Amino acid sequence: MTPGSMFSGSGSGPLDGILIADFSRILAGPYCTMLLGDMGATIVKVESPSGDDTRSWKPPVREDEATYFLSVNRNKHSVVLDFGDAEDLRTAHDLVRRADVMVENFKPGGLVRYGLDYASLAPELPKLIYTSITGFGTKGGADSAGYDLTVQAMSGLMSVNGGAETGPFRVGVAVLDVMTGLHAAMGILGALHHRSTTGRGQLLELNLLTSALSGMVNQTAAWVAGGVVPQRMGNEHPSLYPYEPFPTADGDLIVAAGNDSQFTKLCGVLQIPGVATDARFTTPHLRSDNRDELRILLRERLATQTAAHWFDALTAVGVPSAPIHDVQQGVEFAEKIGLEPVVVAGTGDRAIPSLRHPVDYSLTPARYDLAPPVLGDSTAALKDWLNTTEGPPPRGES
């Protein structure tokens, strides 16, 4: 593969021909750009000489590479640039001039001294879509470092996780980083469409706190629209019941009857049809208000059979239920039902198992051409391409 072909598009995917200069690291930005790379965009991942922080976040590992890094960096070319080096900084600027999109998650103002902030770039590059991800925005929270755990705490998300006796819990994955990455990918797609009709790029600003408040949906709306501060309810739902784990003869089973029809079917399977017509339980609101009484009746019946028995019986009539899997079992279940969750990114010696792109495209399927890159694997090729192909003039020259 020639250097030019490496950076000029894959020839497939809805974003083929789009070049993204990825100056982000850790999770939110890399997850965003990986999704765009899966869709055919060319992603040039700019790393410091020490590399993305997550390269050293071990264990777990795969042949001494951190699986954290591997999880969000397929379909990318790694370029090592030291912004303190004049030639490397020039390369960074040359890359941005060729790019359609730039993604960065430096602290607010952190790129100003390098001339890589939006205000410095926009006059020369009016078509550039500049995507900036921070923890708490660029105003009153600009000086606060944005880690998923701190934002889970400050957004209120931790306050609704756990039970009354346990105290607050964090969600077991960096969900706000992932959520922000999804929001960023959505915003970039919208901005690319806008540019296709107007010829104009723009600045996209995202922060973890705003993504958290948006992504908590009904919980934040409870306060904003209803004046109610949500409280920890363990595995229960504030508005629906039954909607929690129940003990069976051999383990817990999630039962989630979200409407009257499902509740009636649940009672039929449990052979307690009179409960469905009981005046205390005939509507979602009543079932929620009288959950303590209803819980006793449901637990009594569910304890008589195994989780597998009830899962099969409830699934057969369309009542949502689920055994509580570990991660291995979750992947294996997805395989069992034909979702093919595991793909291989890259080829040959550099072929690494990965989780499939979350969207199935009927005409432009996601690609998995490149395994997560070795640090700096494309530095020389990028510099060669920038020096030997046509493009906008270097900054400061006419």
The answer, yes or no, to whether the previous bond of 242 is cis (omega within 30 of 0) is yes
Per the document, the length of the chain is 398
Q: Where are the domains of the chain?
A: 3-217+340-388, 243-326
Contact present, 152 and 171 (Cβ < 8 Å) = yes
Q: What is the pLDDT of residues 268-287, one digit of tens each?
A: 999 999 999 999 999 999 99
The average pLDDT across 18-33 equals: 98
Angle between helices 175-198 and 148-155 (to 10 degrees): 90
Whether pLDDT at 1 is above 80: no
* Overall average pLDDT of the 37-43 stretch: 97
Does the pLDDT value for residue 141 go beyond 90? Answer: no
Hey, which residues does 342 pair with through a beta bridge?
355
User: What pLDDT shows up at residue 11?
Assistant: 67
* 377 has catalytic annotation: no
Structure-model confidence comparison of residues 195 and 390, the more confident one:
195
Q: Give me the residue label for tokens 């965003």.
A: 32
Cα–Cα nearest to 15, from 97, 129, 134? 129
Tell me the C-alpha distance between 293 and 182, whole Å: 41
CATH of domain 243-326: 3.30.1540.10
Residues whose CB is less than 8 angstroms from the CB of residue 355 and which lie 6 or more positions away in sequence, other chains included = 71, 341, 342, 343
Q: What is the pLDDT of residues 276-323, one digit of tens each?
A: 999 999 999 999 999 999 999 999 999 999 999 999 999 999 999 999
| 74, pLDDT greater than 50 | yes
Q: Do domains 3-217+340-388 and 243-326 have the same CATH topology?
A: no
Split at pLDDT 50, 70, 90, the class of 129 is very high
Mean pLDDT of 26-46: 98
pTM score: 0.93
| The one catalytic residue among 177, 252, 292, 384 | 177
The pLDDT-based confidence of 4 (bands split at 50, 70, 90) is low
Alpha helices in the chain (DSSP H): 3-6, 28-38, 67-71, 86-98, 118-121, 148-155, 175-198, 208-215, 218-224, 260-269, 273-277, 284-289, 291-302, 307-316, 327-336, 379-388
Task: Name the CATH code of domain 3-217+340-388 (choices 3.40.50.10540, 3.40.50.2000, 3.40.47.10, 3.40.50.10860).
Answer: 3.40.50.10540
Rounded CA separation 392/398 (Å)? 9
